[in-house]
């Protein structure tokens, strides 16, 4: 895992949400938890647009801004 709580990220792609965060939106990781499915993580994000929608890693694509 190359990301951690406190990292700033930019969303690249989110396909499976009825009200997705737009690609290019930036946010800050506020938490990381395992899911019931092996190899997947819930990545909680406070988005700069005011939303707090989480990502599923690796399904949702994002990059860490260093």
pLDDT at 16: 86
Rg (CA), the chain: 11
pLDDT at 1 over 90: no
Instruction: Encode pLDDT of 26-46 as tens digits.
Output: 999 999 999 999 999 999 999
- What's the CA gap between 13 and 60, in Å, rounded? 6
Mean pLDDT value across the chain: 95
3-state per-residue secondary structure call for the chain: CCCCCCCEEEEEECCCCCCCCCCCCEEEEEEEEECCCCCCEEEEEEECCCCCCCEEECCCEEEEEC
Q: Is this model's pTM higher than 0.85 or not?
A: yes
């Amino acid at each position: 895992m190359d990301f951690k709580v406190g990292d700033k990220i930019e969303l690249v792609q989110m396909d499976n949400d009825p009200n997705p965060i737009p690609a290019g939106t930036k946010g800050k990781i506020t938490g990381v938890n395992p899911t019931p499915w092996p190899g997947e993580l819930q990545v909680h994000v406070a988005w700069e647009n005011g939303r707090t929608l989480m990502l599923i890693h690796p399904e949702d694509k994002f990059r860490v801004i260093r």
